[in-house]
Amino acid sequence: MKKALIALCMLFVALTVQAQEVVSQETEAEKQKKAMELMSIKIDMTIDPNLFMEVTPNTFVSESPKAVIMAMIVPETYQNAKDKLESNLPPEFKVSDKGEKTMNGVNVVYLEGSSKAQGVTINSTVYCLKRDAETCIMFMGMLEDGADKKYADAIKVAANSVVKK
């Protein structure tokens, strides 16, 4: 199940990193290299170590219930990331809410919804905020349906710790 959650996270990552157009193989390789470098940058997050264990510098999982917290820097302008979140969703992801709002004084694009993985419904929240003119920070929280409220609260705390001026 942990693999399914991480695979679902990677699907979101692939959607945000997807190139707009391919000019040449060298340019595409450079874009991918930059994306990997950005994704490896540690993002300051408040994570409850009693609920989540770190599996990579910006990815945290729980054993039971199944939950994932993940953040990364992506090589997208805020507008491009917003457009992709609104249009490039997999058909199995059912959107319950999406839009743009202010969190902690910062404009963010958000997306909430659910999908099924191995017969389990996973509720997901995605936030995207501008980091600079060419990059954004993406935050994803995924939680097994019916999980204890403390896990949902921990995901909200982590999101609020990422979204800051």
For residue 74, give the nearest of 107, 110, 43 by alpha carbon.
Answer: 43
**Confidence band for 129, pLDDT divided at 50, 70 and 90:** very high
Give residue 165's pLDDT. Answer: 65
87 or 20: whose pLDDT is higher? 87
DSSP 58-79: TEEEETTTTEEEEEEEES--HH
Work out whether the CA dihedral 52, 45, 68, 104 comes out positive or negative. positive
pTM, to two decimals: 0.81
DSSP for 81-108 reads HHHHHHH---TT-EEEEEEEEEETTEEE
Q: Is residue 17 predicted with pLDDT exceeding 50?
A: no
Fold entry, domain 2-162: Protein Transport Mog1p; Chain A (3.40.1000)
> What per-residue confidence (pLDDT) applies to 25?
56
Contact 129, 163 (CB under 8 A): yes
Between CA 111 and CA 115, with CA 113 as vertex, the angle to 5 degrees is: 135
Q: What is the pLDDT of residues 87-98, one digit of tens each?
A: 878 888 899 999
The model's confidence at residue 67, banded by pLDDT at 50, 70 and 90, is very high
pLDDT of residue 26: 58
User: 154 pLDDT band (50/70/90 cuts)?
Assistant: very high
Three-class secondary structure of residue 113 per DSSP: strand
Q: Above pLDDT 70, what percent of the chain?
A: 84
pLDDT at 41 over 50: yes
Question: Mean pLDDT over residues 38-49, rounded?
Answer: 91
Each domain of the chain, given as residue ranges in start order, spans 2-162
Q: How far apart are CA 121 and CA 33, in angstroms?
A: 34
Tens of pLDDT, residue by residue over 69-84, are: 999 998 889 999 888 8
Q: Annotate 121-164 with three-state secondary structure.
A: EEEEEEEEEECCCCCEEEEEEEEECCCCHHHHHHHHHHHHHHCC
Q: Quick one: average pLDDT of 129-147?
A: 93
